[in-house]
A and B are shown apart, each in its own frame.
Chain A
Amino acid sequence: MSTIELEARSIVKRYGPLVANDRIDLSVLRGQVHAVMGENGAGKSTLMSILYGMQAPDSGQILLRGAEMRYRSALDAIGAGMGMVHQAFKLFNSLTVWENVVYGMEPTRFGFIDRREAAKRVATLAERYSLRVDPNAVVGQLSVGVRQRVEILKALYRDARVLILDEPTAVLTPQERDGLFDIIRNLTADDRTILFVTHKLHEVMAITDRVTVLRDGKVVDRMVTSETSAREIIRAMTGRAVNLTVEKRPAEPGAVVLEARGLTVATDGGKPVVDHVDLSIRAGEIVGIAGVAGNGQTELIEALTGLRVPDGGTVSIQGTEVTALDVERHRDAGLAYIPEDRATTGTALAASAADNLAMGFQRKPPLSNGRLLDASAMTTHAKRLIERFGVKIGSEQLAVGTLSGGNLQKVVVARELSHAAPLLIAEQPTRGVDVGAIEFIHGQLVAERDRGSAVLLISAELTEILALSDRVLVMFDGRILAELPAAEADEETLGLLMAGRVRDAHLDGTEAA
């Protein structure tokens, strides 16, 4: 019979006027996989950091195996048997696997670190739970899936009985995800408990035993996975029934807008990170590039947008060759670009919305005459965009740093879309964005396509690629491995291709583009 392993009673946490956790009760049974679900901003991260001792709640209690816990820091929580694998890995990239795992609890000999003992302990632990990893490898050179195993090892090294996994599958291929699920089953067989924080429904349905749904800082529903459905969970998360698919007409592609031939980006010695890529995007179509992060997508986009000079090959926008030219010329040739990181690249957080929305327009009328700015034109321009795209902000003069993820992304999308450019490159356009804004942005991308723009979409979310794309390209190891029309693309095929397994994907007759 399962006992209650971890309990949270009436947890409250405020950040100024914002109540991140509003009297949350959570009850997790030992040996189970318990999902904590909710949209971005629902309060999941705050709750987890409280359970892991990184923050103290304003009020409420935490009970571990019936005993009340008062954590002064993560160290206390670790000592009590809590472990956490963060969404953004907390690893030291320049250090080896064993250095990362034993960090803070190093085995010593005469005051020096006992390296051999440390590597041995790590290897033994890895073997026991079938976590294939080399203790002496440098973490920075490992793939994402392996790095996640290192994170799990860290927790196991400290004998974590309760393991919190925060959005663990965000960066994994479907096959790696299945591998993770096997590891999870191993752990629960060993009577350890898993807290699975995610917003991905199909995974919750696949691996979890119970679900607790959060919305706006409160618990809105508790379910037993086997007795509920995806639709019910979504309704609980958003408070309404949400259409998961995007309505769109079939595409009618026109002239070629973006053309890349033999595009290559080298690294210092060794394999190029972008390896002779050929690409053609036509007006009126959405082309999606699927691929696990780290296969050259970032560098490909940098080369296409002018943020980086490619080492080989050519790029043309609307017939104009822009290969070695800077960003300004790319934009003049017809490029608009939604970057993957809205906070570090897409906006200046300390600047006002008006300033942010003006970027890219500042050299032309009506915002300026080339030299002098027209302040009132800037304000009008900003107001118009804020209204049209529904950005929730008090005034266009306020700094955008206070906006939520979804709203900030709307600022970026609003600006880039208002260029009405022939070519739009959208990189991870809905990452970290709430469901309502996701719907909106998807609608905008399709509208762009229908207006006659060429849209290049890069996303790690397969569902997004599948929902929006007219054609799907798969990028692996710096090359475009395959090209599929939307009708032939499904999760399993794409997943295999993303892992480089062309043969297994049974693409008879379809050559790599």
Chain B
Amino acid sequence: MSERSVRTLRFPRIPAVPLAIGIGILIGGLLVLASGGDPIAAYREILVGALAPSNWPNTLNWAVPLVGMTLVAALPLRGGMVNLGGDGQLVIGGLVAAMAALYLPLPGPLLIAASILCAMVASGLYASLAAWGETRFGIPMLISTLLLSYPAIGIASYLVGFPLRDMATGLAQTRMIPDAARLPTISGPLNIGLILMIVVAIAVVFYDRRTVGGYELRMRGLNAKFAGYGGVRLASQQMRVMFASGAIAGLVGAILVLGSLYRYQDGALLTPGYTWSGLMAALLAGGAPLGAIAAGLFFAGLQTGGFAMQRETAIPRVLTMILQSVIILFLAIRHGVGRKSS
């Protein structure tokens, strides 16, 4: 093969995304029509629900965990590593945060800080388990992160259903956390979790662009062999990155429990589907932090709008899930999103 033949490098090109969104809207619209609904009304409600100023607090509040889970997937993906275990890590974070809040004898702000820290460490460690599984046993993280998710969810479900259950209510949930442990609110549903997440997002972008670690991670993502040959310590990098990824998931769980739910409820962290939407947003951007955050915000708006759409029209909000899938399928097929470029 002639070496001078033009090599096409696959990068997600910006014009492709609007096209993909357009295709998604089209297909979604056809689906709505076919089931007897009004597509125009549907999309109008989505837009209003997401973007109307009175709805911003809701959209932002939804965006905090979603962008968080996007970063959970994007950080390892930047280095070519896949973390499909976000659900399990999220659940561990939430449960640990609830437990710490309930049982640590600490005053106000310290209690919050400690609970969040415990949650991040616990989830971080659990995520590193998968990294260890690959370096020590050769189990690909694609599989191990996914498989580890189920036991985590199952055990948490058991714990909150039996030993840790709040016997006063009839439900599988913990007691309410003390007031001192609740995240201070900003306005409406928004709490300082928003600030925390913004800080984390900035940190990730900074890490990626300006630090040696970010450079080494990016090079690993483009060609792991090259990074190793160049002196990057691949195994320890993998452990560190997965720990950070899990820790962010733990943070999300803590924010949800300490900021919105005020207790750990069985399944409550998983039902909104933040993990998989975050994964799709990360894949869309190929792990690039800014692009992933933008995609995450977009999906957050889409889903919040979907709630509004379901309220106002009779159209089920799972439509937004369909839209998301179509968008990413289109981009994956037509524009090589997700392909390793080297």
Are these two chains actual partners, yes or no? yes
A residues bordering B, Cβ < 8 Å?
15-16, 18, 20, 40-41, 43, 45-46, 305, 307, 326-328, 331, 337, 339, 343-351, 355, 358-360, 362-363, 368, 370-373, 375, 399, 401-402, 404-406, 408, 432
Partner of A355, one of B3, B11, B219: B219
Of B3, B9, B213, which is within 8 A of A432 by CB? B3
- B216 contacts which chain A residues (CB < 8 A)? 362
Identify which of B3, B210, B233, B341 gathers the most chain A CB atoms within 10 Å of its CB: B3
Given contacts A41-B3, A43-B2, contact A337 B229 (CB under 8 A): yes
Q: Are B9 and A405 in contact (CB under 8 A)?
A: no
- Chosen A-B contacts, 22 in total, with CB atoms closer than 8 Å, are A20-B2, A45-B2, A326-B231, A326-B233, A327-B231, A328-B231, A328-B233, A331-B231, A344-B342, A345-B229, A348-B219, A348-B222, A349-B222, A359-B226, A359-B227, A360-B230, A362-B215, A371-B212, A372-B212, A373-B214, A401-B7, A404-B3
Contact yes or no, A307 B229, CB < 8 A:
yes
Whether B313 is near chain A, meaning CB under 8 Å from some CB there, is no
Is B187 interfacial (CB-CB < 8 Å)?
A: no
Known contacts A345-B225, A347-B226; A402/B6 CB under 8 A: yes
CA distance A243 to B179 in the complex (A): 85
Per-residue A-contact encoding for B50-65, CB less than 8 Å = 1, 0 else: 0000000000000000
Query: CB within 8 Å of A: which of B1-46?
Result: 1-7, 9, 11
A404 touches B4 (CB 8 A): yes
Contacts of A339 in B (CB 8 A): 229
Nearest opposing residue in chain B for A43, CB measure: B2
Q: Does B260 contact A (CB under 8 A)?
A: no
Which residue of B1, B11, B211, B231 has the most chain A CB atoms within 10 A of its CB atom?
B231
**Residue of A whose beta carbon sits closest to that of B228:** A327
Docked-complex contact B231 and A344, CB < 8 angstroms? no
Would you call B2 and A401 a contact (CB within 8 A)?
no
Instruction: Give the A-B contact count at a CB cut-off of 8 A.
Output: 112
- B residues with a Cβ closer than 8 A to A are 1-7, 9, 11, 210-216, 218-219, 222-223, 225-233, 341-342
CB distance from A85 to the nearest CB of B (A): 15
Known contacts: A350-B222, A368-B212. The answer to whether A360 contacts B5 by CB under 8 A is no
Residues of B within 8 A of A328 (CB): 231-233
Residue of B nearest to A369 (CB): B212
Which 10 interchain pairs have the tightest Cβ spacing? A350-B341, A405-B3, A359-B230, A348-B223, A348-B222, A328-B231, A349-B342, A404-B4, A401-B7, A348-B226
A344 touches B215 (CB 8 A): no
Residues of B within 8 A of A372 (CB): 210-212
Known: A339-B229, A360-B230, A401-B342. A41 touches B4 (CB 8 A): yes
Measured in the bound complex, the distance between the Cα atoms of B10 and A399 in whole Å is 12
Contact of A45 among B1, B230, B232 (CB under 8 A): B1
A344 lies within 8 A of B225 (CB)? yes
Q: How far is the CB of A393 from chain B (nearest CB, A)?
A: 13
With CB as the reference atom, state the residue of chain A lying closest to B231: A328
- Chain A neighbourhood of B6, CB < 8 A: 15-16, 18, 402
Contact B9 A401 (CB under 8 A): yes
Q: A351-B219, A371-B211 are in contact. Are A41 and B342 (CB under 8 A)?
A: no
Interface centre among B218, B222, B229, B341 (most CB of A within 10 A): B229
Task: Using CB atoms, name the residue of chain A closest to B235.
Answer: A326
Compute how far the CA of A375 lies from the CA of B214 in the bound complex, rounded to whole angstroms: 13
B7 A355 Cβ-Cβ under 8 A: no
8 other contacts beyond A327-B229, A328-B232, A360-B230, with CB at 8 A cut-off?
A326-B233, A327-B230, A337-B229, A348-B223, A349-B222, A359-B219, A362-B215, A402-B6
**Contact A346:B212 (CB < 8 A) given known A46-B2, A328-B231, A359-B219:** no
- Cβ–Cβ < 8 Å partners of B210 in chain A: 372-373, 375
